A and B are shown apart, each in its own frame.
Chain A
Amino acid sequence: MQSRSKLDRLLWSLQQLMKIDAMNIVILVIVVLLGWSVISDNIENPARYLPSPIAVAFSSVDMLVKGLLPSYFSDTLVRLIIGSAIGLAAGIPFGLLLGLNRTVADMFHPMMNFFQSVSGIAIFPIIVIWYGNSDMTVLIVILYTSFFPIAFNVLSGVREIPLRYINATRTLGASRFQVMKDVLFPGAMPHIATGSRLSIGFAWRAVIAGEMLAGREGLGWMIFTGQDADKTTEIILGMVIIGFTWIVLDHYLLRPMEERTIERWGLVQR
């Protein structure tokens, strides 16, 4: 009986999903594809200006067969993972360290806000001057874009932790490092979750921009060279993949992680 009702519930929730989300999305996608096809059919030289969805699909099959697409895709993904992992690994402790002292925290707050507002694209020229068109340049820009949002968020989170928690832990004999580990880190957890998601989002944009400006492979490079080679199908294909990857990443990994953390902490921190 138990398994029976579980199955029913599963079917029911699938139906619900189909009814609202999936159906809406399918309809929307069909409408967009249709509109796109109609425009593509009615302009001159569609291969250059706006290839039809079918042409894009063929080109993707072609690139899949040649193995180019998987290779570009994994290049970009690896860059994102390495860049944002280092960015988070450096940004979280940095935010916590600044937060150890209220005066230092208040002092650095505006500066961190300043740096997180100067987007990755805006620092590109100077990094290219320093490191040329290299993988190093791309990595530095990704690091930069993922470091500041997380560090700034962690710092904000630390500033919101009631002073009495810090004082109480200090009177138990805790060192500064122990206060950081036992009070600041768990206390800033919701901000760490939000900051991580923001950071990875910025890093994703930076990877693409970086590959366009200074890379030699990856999705960004693919759409950039598509322009030179008049391969509009590849440009559109790249854009679709970039958007789609982010939606999947955000919807199935980052957002659930953030929501779970905030929910759990919201329950605890009352």
Chain B
Amino acid sequence: MNKLIPKLVVEGLSHHYPDEYTGESVHALEDINLELYEGELVSVVGPSGCGKSTLLNILAGLLPYNIGVASVDGEVITGPGPDRGVVFQEHAILPWRTVARNIGHGLEIRKIPEKERKKTVQDFINLVGLTGFEDKYPHELSGGMKQRCQVARTLCADPVVMLMDEPFAAVDAQTRITLQEELNRIAMATKKTILFITHAVDEAAFLGDRCLVFSARPGRLKEIVKIDIPREKRVWADMNTDAVFIAARDKILASVREEVSVAVEE
């Protein structure tokens, strides 16, 4: 594992866009600098409207940008590409494809022969715990299972970086806790480099090796909180008594709350 060369680099990234209704220039991101190293899971947290989703869309290549540079493995981002997999908040798996065909879609796009595909797809189905649901359609799955399917689809395409946009925001609280622990396990098993965007402080502290706190609009990188807990020790049952976790969470929470009050006063 090369800790010195980052997988994802963002330098001096700012973003303005005209408001849909008023036409006024909205200042969404201001001078963002960040680096993601191999195998690292970095969470991004901030008040709503702080531009964290804008950042993700830029990194995904879905939103053009012109101030600053973002690159993956040294290649400047100019559009969507299979080097960056995205897990969206809303269910974005295709409703007319079965679970297995959704998960294998990335390989299908890359024209991997079906025989080879099958084995890889099955591995990821097993990894996310969807064994037995291969031939089901998305409408037959629960919200949590749909998100598992989306995570598997993204991983199966083997991206350099996985970008996650509040992927567990729309599922119920019980499921969310399970999915967080599952993602921790998957991060451990696959050693993927992950950028995880969320508005939930607990989630950011539980999952992140580092947590980036964004300021209210225009989004700036306000603070970086390191969370030094080995992945194998990250289980919700132990977190309530884990001093490191509690300290990190409180620090993030305090930082975010300052920003929320700023946003409210404006």
Contact = CB atoms under 8 A, between A and B. Distances in A.
Interface string B47-60: 00000000000001
A183 B95 CA distance: 10
B81 A173 contact: yes
Contacts of B133: none
A169 B62 contact: no
Given A268-B95, A268-B139, A172 B88 contact: no
B90 A164 contact: yes
B142 to A, nearest CB: 13
Given A164-B92, A169-B94, A171-B86, A182 B105 contact: yes
B65 to A, nearest CB: 16
B82 interface: yes
Given A169-B94, A186-B96, A174 B88 contact: no
B85 interface: yes
B109 A265 contact: no
B105 A169 contact: yes
B94 A171 contact: no
Given A164-B90, A182-B94, A265-B96, A171 B85 contact: yes
Contacts of A186: 94, 96
B139 A270 contact: yes
Given A171-B62, A173-B109, A187 B92 contact: no
A48 interface: no
B41 interface: no
B95 A168 contact: no
A269 B88 contact: no
A170 B110 contact: no
Nearest to B94: A165
Given A173-B106, A173-B110, A167 B137 contact: no
- Which range holds the interface residue count of chain A? 20 to 34
Specify the main secondary structure of chain B where it touches its partner: loop
A169 B137 CA distance: 17
Contacts of B80: 167, 170-171, 173
A183 B138 CA distance: 15
Interface string B223-257: 00000000000000000000000000000000000
B62 A167 contact: yes
Nearest to B137: A268
Contacts of B139: 267-270
A155 B86 CA distance: 27
Interface residues of B, number: 26
Contacts of A182: 94, 105, 109
Contacts of B96: 186-187, 189, 265, 268-269
A89 to B, nearest CB: 22
B153 interface: yes
A172 B157 contact: yes
A182 B139 CA distance: 18
B92 A172 contact: no
Contacts of B81: 171, 173
Contact of A171 (B61, B90, B93, B137): B61
B137 A172 contact: no
Interface of A: 164-165, 167-174, 178, 182-183, 186-187, 189, 265, 267-270
18 contacts: A164-B88, A167-B60, A167-B92, A168-B92, A168-B94, A169-B109, A170-B61, A170-B80, A171-B80, A171-B84, A172-B85, A172-B105, A173-B82, A173-B106, A186-B96, A187-B96, A189-B96, A268-B137
Given A168-B94, A171-B61, A189-B96, 17 more contacts: A164-B90, A164-B92, A167-B80, A167-B92, A168-B92, A171-B80, A171-B81, A171-B86, A172-B106, A172-B109, A172-B153, A173-B82, A174-B109, A182-B94, A186-B94, A268-B139, A269-B95
Interface of B: 60-62, 80-82, 84-86, 88, 90, 92-96, 105-106, 109-110, 137-139, 150, 153, 157
